[in-house]
Amino acid sequence: MKVITANFVTCAVKECKTSPTSFPLHFHDAELEMQELDFQPEFIRNVIPRIDWEGLRVTANELGFPSLPESKPEGEALGDEQTLKDLHRLLLETQVMEGKLICGNCGHEYVIKEGIANFLLPSHLV
C-alpha cells in the first residue's frame, strides 16, 4: 500500500466517519519497502493541493520519516524539483507491505498483508 493511499482512507465503520479522530488511521508495526516509480513532477504538483497535509504529517511521522514542513507547499514551492522528488518518494514510492492501520475512534485494526490493506469489517461491526 502506497503512503498516499493512507491520505484517502478512513475507518469503514459508519459511526466513525463523523469523528475527527478516525482520520488518519494510525500505522502500527509497519514494514516498508521502496518501489521505484517514474517521477512525474506534473502529477505530484497536481495532486498536492488535494492532500490533507495535517493527515500526511501524522502518517509520515508514524512511519519514521523526517518531519514534513508545517504548511503544505504551494505556489512557488511547487516549482522546486527537490520538494516534488521528496514527495514523490514518500507518497508513491514508499510501500507499506505489512502492518496494521488502527482507527483512533473505535480502535478497530485493519491488516495490511503483502502490500494490500483489507477494510472488510467483521460481522459485529457491520
Partner 1 sequence: MSHAEEYEQQNVHEVYQQIAQHFSATRYKPWPIVEQYLQNLTPGSIGLDVGCGNGKNLLVNRNVFIIASDRSENLARIALQHQPHSAVVADILHLPHRDGYFDFAMCIAVVHHLSTPERRVQAIAEILRTVKRGSDTQPGGTVLVYAWALEQKNSRRGWDKGDQQDIMVPWVRKNPTAPEESQTFNRYYHLFEEGELERDIESAGGHVVTSGYEKDNWWAIATPKVKVSP
Report the site for partner 1 in 60-79 (rule: CB under 8 A). Answer: none
**Per-residue string for binding with partner 1, 94-123, x by CB under 8 A?**
----------------x---xxxxxxxx-x
If binding is defined by CB under 8 A, does position 10 make contact with partner 1? yes
**Per-residue string for binding with partner 1, 23-62, x by CB under 8 A?**
x-------------xx-x-xx-xxx-xx------------
Question: Per-residue DSSP letters for 35-82?
Answer: ------HHHHHHHGGGS-HHHHHHHHHHTTPPPPPSS---GGGGG-HH
